[in-house]
């Protein structure tokens, strides 16, 4: 694995840990695609830092479980502003 990829993977993992950010938010911050963020945290991060990978996985699972709630809030907000 190239060094810049290794650094990005660790930076992304630490960012998600600190901010509980979603994959989409993280992709925007780091200027990469959602697919890249997902591959970094599910495939590459466990090879580099297994403990961090497990913690990030829990955060992403929590975000996924809450996704339908956030979507409903966004829709409600959209129509309240109209």
- For 10-21, the pLDDT digits (tens) are 999 999 999 999
Residue 71 confidence (pLDDT) above 80: no
Query: Model pTM?
Result: 0.80
User: Average pLDDT over the chain, rounded to whole?
Assistant: 91
The pair of three-digit structure tokens given for residue 66, joined into one six-digit string: 């809450």
C-alpha 20/C-alpha 25 separation (Å) is 10
Half-sphere exposure of 25 (CA within 13 A, CB side): 12
Residue 28 has pLDDT above 90, yes or no: yes
How many domains are contained in the chain?
Answer: 1
Q: Average of pLDDT values for 34-44?
A: 96
Domain extent at residue 28: 1-79
């Amino acid at each position: 694995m190239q060094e810049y990829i290794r650094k990005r993977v660790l930076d992304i993992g630490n960012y998600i840990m600190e901010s509980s950010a979603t994959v989409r938010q993280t992709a925007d911050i780091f200027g990469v695609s959602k697919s890249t963020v997902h591959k970094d945290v599910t495939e590459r991060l466990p090879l580099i830092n297994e403990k961090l990978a497990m913690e990030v996985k829990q955060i992403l699972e929590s975000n996924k479980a809450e996704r339908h709630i956030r979507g409903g809030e966004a829709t409600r907000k959209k129509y309240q502003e109209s």
